[in-house]
Chain A
């Protein structure tokens, strides 16, 4: 395993994923996304340093979801135009058209997941945002705001736990029923928001006293450049898709998306 994927420019990696996702939406047959998905997972395996336990865990969740989706899109499919053309699917004899639509949707979802996981599991969030500022001209005000917010999330969760415990000590009963739950969250919301606003204000003041002005022209300590490897990656991701499309045309599986569902 190498860390090639981890060292790629995060913005280019994101762009590659977005382009691949967009192109895939034009394809309708189940074969192309299936092969492309497998290739992407292999790619992640071979060229990325990834926390595999977590990867597999999340992927299994996606798989469960997609089985549910497969089932519902078969069960609640539109009336088929050619109901007599059927196919054997597991134990059932079903209209071929419906099965194709369902399989294509499901595999497409799994491939999208594989693509986004390839990005998420090999990218440092901070580096991604820094790179967005440098390559994609994301305004620093927004970018550093997101970074500060990213730091806040665990703090907010801690604070909510604190408030919950504090109210419990006051003798507030645990809510039963939807109405009470809503009321309870309303009560939590005030101290939570008051705390969050105060913290945000403090952080903003602290950032400004470190000289932050939100100016677009700035120097970056961690510079992200776009190199030959990045372009190679981007083009190979697209080339791969084109090759797979070509193969599936050759084998006769390919079809465009023409508003089938």
Chain B
């Protein structure tokens, strides 16, 4: 078992400890959700549990962790891997070999598995995660979801007693995400592995994990117990620390607050919902259709194609979008979403076809003028930073346009306020938190009052509070007449904010309609998508006894 006692950890340059007097026990075979806002020390704790810290730590550690009686203070490199395995968030940077087979063999070689047993073990774990057909495949050719399953397979091959999943599905599309959670669930039930799951989005996990351990921003353990208790008794904690509830729970609580629902026990899953919900007013599940006031054609695309290295990335795309709109672009990993938005923003150029922005061919726009029309927020905010101060970062574009300094000051302060970055003016952009970095990258793209704003998966890796703040900011921009075009996998966001949704599959547009129309289609899973919670719940209720009228 894992015993954490009074664990405190300081990094050298930090004023406050990242982890503060943390204590808990995890028995073999037990499962636990580790919750907390970004920067609360979840990943640091992971490093302690698998023996990377204190050996590799630039800082100090107090207290101790014992794993099956052995202190992490006296482990040799690699030794903890026999007890604790970790699947990390980024699918790209956790492999060191080129093929699936070699990667799994790497771990087995490390722990000294006899050579004649390695092949059997590889086949065994590949079957467990459903990757048998990819044994000899190049890791580079796998999809994000397959890479995460491979990472899991590598860890399972070592037969650890505990597995830690550190936001394993953050990069995945809805279907891949569900598939990963299901795989993990079956393996856990089958092998009775101890499991710690770190996630911002709890849907799916709550169907088989009940215990929750909550970390505060300051790295304190503020709650340890059942998730039900946490939500019923400490709902404010979730709000305060910016932790997302399972989407169905959030919906039920909202309805309850409006006196439109009643339940005996708080629901986490659809099954819970049918069992515990005594009443829900169905009108709560209807949204007023978001009226689009789109009038002017803003982007038109005729027969656009894009190929790279003989690979067709976009095939014959034609559409016309009017503005102002809030458009969501969605589809499976690798379906061409990012490529499409890059073409539309004039960052890349199509192999064939025409694109018109504000009724003018994109080739006729001068780069400088186009940038005054279009803002583009990249997936990694750091890529866009060019100065050493938050203030200069926002002022950069304004100064390029040679505005008088007084106007620059005024506009920057306005933007700082609207992006909730006041007081950060003199910080270095790299030292901001994930959420702040994201808002800063948005700030730099709206300061010049661009009327089209592209965002590439802006909520990726953000905790609930940052996501909320960001979406408020975008909704406000949209109200002021900016067209927002957002690449996302989050169907609840699409449902809540977008008034038009575009679905891509293998480089083709397969749907371009209002979200309401999209939810009426059967089988979204063929596009690797899912329905938003609201719709799923509605469907679920139709077949259940829950009273739907007052």
> Residues of A at under 8 Å CB distance from B?
126, 144, 147-148, 150-151, 154-155, 159, 162-163, 165-172, 187, 191, 194-195, 199, 202-203, 205-215, 218-223
B78 within 8 A of A: yes
Q: Which of B98, B108, B383, B384 is within 8 Å of A151, CB to CB? A: B98
Contact A169 B384 (CB under 8 A): yes
Q: Which residues of B contact A195 (CB under 8 A)?
A: 380, 382
In whole angstroms, how far apart are the Cα atoms of A170 and B386 in the complex? Answer: 9
**Contact digits for B61-78, partner A, Cβ 8 Å, 1 yes 0 no:** 000000000000000111
Q: Which residues of B contact A154 (CB under 8 A)?
A: 140
Q: A202 to nearest B CB, angstroms?
A: 4
Contact A206 B382 (CB under 8 A): no
In whole angstroms, how far apart are the Cα atoms of A148 and B119 in the complex? Answer: 23
B409 within 8 A of A: no
Contact A169 B345 (CB under 8 A): yes
Chain B interface bracket (under 10, 10 to 19, 20 to 34, 35 or more): 35 or more
- 10 tightest A-B CB contacts, nearest first: A213-B78, A211-B110, A221-B105, A206-B94, A211-B81, A210-B107, A148-B96, A166-B383, A213-B77, A202-B93
Contact A209 B81 (CB under 8 A): yes
Contact A170 B396 (CB under 8 A): yes
Q: Which of B98, B111, B375, B380 is within 8 Å of A211, CB to CB? A: B111
In whole angstroms, how far apart are the Cα atoms of A208 and B154 in the complex? Answer: 12
CB closest chain-A residue, reference B106: A210
Contact B102 A222 (CB under 8 A): yes
Q: Which residues of B contact A126 (CB under 8 A)?
A: 97-98, 102
Q: Which of B82, B84, B93, B114 is within 8 Å of A219, CB to CB? A: B114
Q: Which residues of A contact B397 (CB under 8 A)?
A: 170-171
10 contacts between A and B (CB under 8 A): A169-B371, A171-B397, A172-B386, A199-B90, A199-B92, A203-B93, A205-B88, A211-B81, A211-B111, A213-B79
Contact B105 A147 (CB under 8 A): no
Contact A170 B384 (CB under 8 A): yes
Contact A151 B96 (CB under 8 A): yes
Chain B 173-217 residues near chain A, CB threshold 8 A: none
Contact B52 A209 (CB under 8 A): yes
B50 within 8 A of A: yes
Q: Which of B90, B93, B106, B342: most chain A Cβ within 10 A?
A: B93
Q: B156 to nearest A CB, angstroms?
A: 11
In whole angstroms, how far apart are the Cα atoms of A199 and B96 in the complex? Answer: 12
Q: B157 to nearest A CB, angstroms?
A: 9
Contact A167 B386 (CB under 8 A): yes
Chain B 104-141 residues near chain A, CB threshold 8 A: 105-115, 118-119, 139-140
- Contact A208 B81, CB 8 Å, known A171-B368, A171-B371, A218-B112: yes
Q: Which residues of A contact B10 (CB under 8 A)?
A: none
Q: Which residues of B contact A148 (CB under 8 A)?
A: 96
In whole angstroms, how far apart are the Cα atoms of A167 and B385 in the complex? Answer: 8
Q: Which residues of A contact B94 (CB under 8 A)?
A: 202-203, 206
B155 within 8 A of A: yes
Contact B77 A214 (CB under 8 A): yes
In whole angstroms, how far apart are the Cα atoms of A151 and B97 in the complex? Answer: 7
In whole angstroms, how far apart are the Cα atoms of A162 and B386 in the complex? Answer: 14
In whole angstroms, how far apart are the Cα atoms of A222 and B136 in the complex? Answer: 13
B367 within 8 A of A: yes
Q: Which of A159, A169, A199, A213 is within 8 Å of B347, CB to CB? A: A169
Contact B378 A166 (CB under 8 A): yes
Q: Which residues of A contact B106 (CB under 8 A)?
A: 144, 207, 210, 212
Q: Which residues of B contact A207 (CB under 8 A)?
A: 96, 106
Contact B77 A194 (CB under 8 A): no
B95 within 8 A of A: yes
Contact B430 A222 (CB under 8 A): no
CB closest chain-A residue, reference B347: A165
In whole angstroms, how far apart are the Cα atoms of A36 and B310 in the complex? Answer: 39
Q: A159-B383, A211-B79, A218-B112 given; name 11 further pairs at CB < 8 Å.
A: A126-B98, A126-B102, A167-B384, A168-B367, A169-B347, A170-B396, A208-B50, A209-B80, A210-B107, A211-B82, A213-B76
Q: Which residues of B contact A202 (CB under 8 A)?
A: 88, 90, 93-94
Q: Which residues of B contact A206 (CB under 8 A)?
A: 86, 88, 93-96, 151
CB closest chain-A residue, reference B345: A169
Contact B382 A213 (CB under 8 A): no
In whole angstroms, how far apart are the Cα atoms of A168 and B397 in the complex? Answer: 12
Contact B347 A210 (CB under 8 A): no
CB closest chain-A residue, reference B454: A169
Q: Which residues of A contact B378 (CB under 8 A)?
A: 162, 165-166, 169
In whole angstroms, how far apart are the Cα atoms of A92 and B110 in the complex? Answer: 65
- Contact A210 B383, CB 8 Å, known A202-B88, A203-B96: no
Q: A106 to nearest B CB, angstroms?
A: 35
Q: Which residues of A contact B355 (CB under 8 A)?
A: none
Q: Which residues of B contact A187 (CB under 8 A)?
A: 386
B376 within 8 A of A: yes
CB closest chain-A residue, reference B430: A194
B32 within 8 A of A: no
Q: Which residues of A contact B342 (CB under 8 A)?
A: 165
CB closest chain-A residue, reference B157: A210
Contact B380 A210 (CB under 8 A): no
In whole angstroms, how far apart are the Cα atoms of A215 and B139 in the complex? Answer: 25
CB closest chain-B residue, reference A152: B93
Q: Which of A148, A168, A202, A212: most chain B Cβ within 10 A?
A: A212
Contact A171 B158 (CB under 8 A): no
- Contact A166 B78, CB 8 Å, known A202-B93, A208-B52, A209-B52: no
In whole angstroms, how far apart are the Cα atoms of A57 and B108 in the complex? Answer: 41
Contact A209 B50 (CB under 8 A): yes
Contact A213 B110 (CB under 8 A): yes
Contact A144 B96 (CB under 8 A): yes
Q: Which residues of A contact B98 (CB under 8 A)?
A: 126, 147, 150-151
In whole angstroms, how far apart are the Cα atoms of A203 and B86 in the complex? Answer: 12
CB closest chain-A residue, reference B401: A171
Contact B376 A169 (CB under 8 A): yes
- Contact A210 B110, CB 8 Å, known A167-B386, A221-B115: yes
Contact A191 B385 (CB under 8 A): yes
Contact B96 A147 (CB under 8 A): yes
Q: A19 to nearest B CB, angstroms?
A: 29
Q: Which residues of A contact B97 (CB under 8 A)?
A: 126, 147, 151
Contact B347 A220 (CB under 8 A): no
Contact A219 B112 (CB under 8 A): yes
CB closest chain-B residue, reference A214: B77
In whole angstroms, how far apart are the Cα atoms of A166 and B444 in the complex? Answer: 12
Q: Which of A154, A159, A210: most chain B Cβ within 10 A?
A: A210
Q: Which residues of B contact A219 (CB under 8 A)?
A: 108-109, 112-115, 118
B461 within 8 A of A: no
B400 within 8 A of A: yes
- Contact A211 B383, CB 8 Å, known A166-B378, A202-B93: no
CB closest chain-B residue, reference A206: B94
